[in-house]
Amino acid sequence: MTDNEVVKRLMYSGLLAGLGALASIATAKAAELIWVRVFGEDPPE
């Protein structure tokens, strides 16, 4: 299965998309935490 180049590319694309999504969620949570600590209120939507 891993000898197939198409499968490898699809697996890599999936991994990249998953990590990108996790990074985006982590960034949003970190920004929200900083906002709340600095301004003492929920961030604007």
Where do the domains of the chain lie? 1-45
Query: What is the model's pLDDT at position 17?
Result: 98
C-alpha distances in Å from residue 7, one per residue of 20, 28, 43, 45: 20, 32, 42, 40
Nearest C-alpha neighbor of 44 from the set 1, 36, 26, 5: 36
- CA angle 42/37/27 to nearest 5° reads 75
Query: What is the model's pLDDT at position 2?
Result: 65
Query: What is the model's pLDDT at position 3?
Result: 80
User: Over the stretch 1-45, which tens digit does the pLDDT of each residue have?
Assistant: 568 999 999 999 999 999 999 999 999 999 999 999 999 999 998
Q: How many residues does the chain have?
A: 45
